[in-house]
Structure 1
Amino acid sequence: MNTHLPVVALTLGDPAGIGSELIARLLARPEACQRANVVLVGDRWLWEEGQRMAGVQVATEEVPAFGAVRARADTRLAAFLPVHSVEAAQVHRGRAEAAGGRSVLQVLDRCMDATLAGEVDAICFAPLNKQAMKLGGMRHEDELHHFADYLGVTGYFCEFNTLGDLWTSRISSHVPTRDAARYITRERIAQAAELIYRSLLTSGYAQPKVAIAAFNPHGGDGGVCGREEIDTIVPAVQALQARDWPTEAPFHGPFPADTIFLKARAGEYQAIVTMYHDQGQIAIKLMGFERGVTVQGGLPIPITTPAHGTAYDIAGRGLASVEASWQAFVIAAHMGHAHRQAATA
């Protein structure tokens, strides 16, 4: 029985987008099955279409259930668990539709069930579309909140965006920018900073350093441009610095948002906690849109995905780059390994 590799579930994402093509390109790399015991979960017709669009043929080993994956003695081929979540006739390439959203929800929920049952160690999903998922029945603002509700999470959770060795988190996410300031509290800053720090430790970083961003221009200029730094952010960082941590001095800041990424790019910090969505997203996507990864932080199981979307405009044209999906898979495999070790300790 081959139990040393983490079991990573891959999904094909929104059937009207580029997800199946990306997963075909990913599994065409021989090193994929060297990093994880892979189980591909999806509709057979969609998997075949993805291979055709990518111009590859990928051999898989069909399994009847998630429970059969870890027991495989030979993991040189990905396992394939076929499901029936959507008919080909229901999918119109490049369009967000209820059928596609329902398909995504059904497959992801099955993968989460398997992870909670100890049959899967991590999930890496191809791009999905929030509008389609809402049309398909999702009651939450985004997939992260769906995951958290499904998994019974009651504590703090947030998305991490990663690019190479740089991770970012944020105090607020998909909210109007005019409302961002009211989310800035000492508690949320402390929770976001600690969560990304501990996630970096889990992902193999021995001495992670986390920078905290300011909210206002020039860090508030001593209160001239705003008092969030004086009243909230600085006290939050000081409180973090006063606590005991597994590594030395992990938290620093706040630093003005227009220079903080220069410090990270120079290697001074491995993570940045930003105060609102675009403060971090613009920088990360400018630095490497085609390689960015989203990690769902604060969940009891590792879940990752490429940071880009479904790319409806190029779906079916064989143009999709696999690099962000590959990086998301590598992170899922690493975190899945740590998750498996913790579960069996």
Structure 2
Amino acid sequence: MFKDQVVAFAMGDPAGISPELAARLLTGEVADQAVMLVLGDRRVLELGARHAGVELDLPVLSAGELGDARPTRSCLVDLGHCDPADLQPGVASAAGGRSALANFRLALRAADAGYADLVFFTPFNKHAMRLGEPAYVDEIGFINRTLGTTRSGSEFNVLDEVWNARVTSHIPLSQVAGALSAERVFESLRLTVRTMEGAGFSRPRIGVAALNPHAGDGGLFGTEDDQVILPAVERARALQMAVTGPVPSDTVFMRAVKGEFDAVLTMYHDQGQIAMKLIGFDRGVTLIAGYPFPIVTPAHGTAYDIAGQGIANPNAAQKAIELGLKLAARATGPRDDVAMPTFAALAAGALEGGPPG
């Protein structure tokens, strides 16, 4: 079903379980579902294969050898920018962060230029990435700068039981209420519906979490639920979206897990993350939607505590790729309105941190 799709496969933090996960995925069933355009350092992937106890059969190319055409078979583009001998397993470093950022930057630009249909990355370590690039805050900000877009995407956490979308993300809790507006809540609902329909849901049922205790209790504990969230919910209902809320946040996930909702829209990061990680920490998928192509990764982190031990579980990473392929299959396909830059030019820009060549 996905044989013609290309996954821009960015290798994540080299000091964690990312190398092992990459090797397991590239020798597992998911590798047969699409073309894997793997971006990173050959030495890091070989290290991961040794940790995983697997043998790789993957052509290794330079960026120049890929030329200016989409790959037709899986391959590794060796960027030669990260020697594992210079890293300490389980320890964040500027070198590791820079390599992960370069891989991610190239994957994003490859998908944007038409070389790939989606972006997948093995786990990043935010501390390492900030060591490598002090301006780094989170993936969405990095994506916006890399693609030169002014319209931000949104992060979803996905489990078999329930999806979680959120209105605000990586901002201080003290700023959440002021960042909410009826328009922003409504746009988050509309993106959630559109994204879930792309994943195969028909009229997804969404529970909208209240901001305040008891959904504000008639204004006793705050007015945002009545004055900001409810108007957005009513607007969505008028457009025939299956939306309920605001629902007190101490019960909304319980109702979702019992089958009442397919997704929960939360107002801030930890309002959803705590619940989702309690439900299925090692099974979750993170999806970044709202861009011309899906961006996916396992929801768990770099697991520095088990780096190099050969026990990393690839299930969540495999689910991430499968979700990305499903979403990409419903997208419009590669752009054909502009000439594709050479892959060597993209790679040079990604390594330098500057604009695409």
- Whether these two folds match at TM > 0.5 is yes
Q: Please tell me whether the aligned partners of residues 70 and 114 of structure 2 are also in contact (alpha carbons under 8 angstroms).
A: no
Closer/same/farther in 2, CA of residues 3 and 16 from structure 1, 3 Å limit: closer
Deviates more, 1:228-237 or 1:198-207: 198-207
Gaps of 5+ in 1: none
Please tell me whether residue 308 in structure 1 is matched to residue 300 in structure 2: yes
Q: Which residue of 2 aligns with 1:53?
A: 51
Q: Please tell me whether the aligned partners of residues 216 and 223 of structure 2 are also in contact (alpha carbons under 8 angstroms).
A: yes
Aligned partners of 1:164, 1:68: CA distance in 2, in Å?
Answer: 38
Q: Which residue of 2 aligns with 1:42?
A: 40
Aligned partners of 1:166, 1:242: CA distance in 2, in Å?
Answer: 24
Closer/same/farther in 2, CA of residues 202 and 165 from structure 1, 3 Å limit: farther
Equivalence map 1:107-256=2 (5 Å): 107-164=103-160, 166-243=162-239, 248-256=240-248
Closer/same/farther in 2, CA of residues 212 and 343 from structure 1, 3 Å limit: farther
Q: Please tell me whether the aligned partners of residues 138 and 146 of structure 1 are also in contact (alpha carbons under 8 angstroms).
A: no
Q: Which residue of 2 aligns with 1:281?
A: 273
Query: What amino acid sits opposite 2:115 in the alignment?
Result: E
Which residue of 101, 106, 110 corresponds with 1:105? 101
Residue 340 of structure 1: how far off its partner (Å): 5.1
Residue 50 of structure 1: how far off its partner (Å): 0.3
Residue 28 of structure 1: how far off its partner (Å): 2.3
SS of aligned partner of 1:319: coil
Aligned partners of 2:336, 2:255: CA distance in 1, in Å?
Answer: 38
Tell me how many residue pairs correspond in the alignment.
335
SS of aligned partner of 2:37: strand
- Seq. identity, %: 41
SS of aligned partner of 1:128: coil
Q: Please tell me whether the aligned partners of residues 115 and 122 of structure 1 are also in contact (alpha carbons under 8 angstroms).
A: yes
Q: RMSD in angstroms over aligned alpha carbons?
A: 2.2
Please tell me whether residue 295 in structure 1 is matched to residue 287 in structure 2: yes
Q: Which residue of 2 aligns with 1:22?
A: 21
Aligned partners of 1:69, 1:187: CA distance in 2, in Å?
Answer: 41
Query: What do the CA deviations read for 1:138-169 (whole angstroms, capped 9, x no partner)?
Result: 52311221011211222242211111252211
SS of aligned partner of 1:325: helix
Please tell me whether residue 333 in structure 1 is matched to residue 325 in structure 2: yes
Query: What do the CA deviations read for 1:295-339 (whole angstroms, capped 9, x no partner)?
Result: 112222211111111111111112221121111111122122223
Aligned partners of 1:148, 1:165: CA distance in 2, in Å?
Answer: 30
Aligned partners of 1:215, 1:51: CA distance in 2, in Å?
Answer: 46
Q: Please tell me whether the aligned partners of residues 117 and 333 of structure 2 are also in contact (alpha carbons under 8 angstroms).
A: no
Query: What do the CA deviations read for 1:91-113 (whole angstroms, capped 9, x no partner)?
Result: 11111111111101111111122
Closer/same/farther in 2, CA of residues 32 and 69 from structure 1, 3 Å limit: farther
Query: What amino acid sits opposite 2:83 in the alignment?
Result: E
Residue 33 of structure 1: how far off its partner (Å): 2.9
Aligned partners of 1:96, 1:52: CA distance in 2, in Å?
Answer: 21
Q: Please tell me whether the aligned partners of residues 8 and 336 of structure 1 are also in contact (alpha carbons under 8 angstroms).
A: no
SS of aligned partner of 1:223: coil
Aligned partners of 1:123, 1:165: CA distance in 2, in Å?
Answer: 24
SS of aligned partner of 1:211: strand
Aligned partners of 1:169, 1:92: CA distance in 2, in Å?
Answer: 35
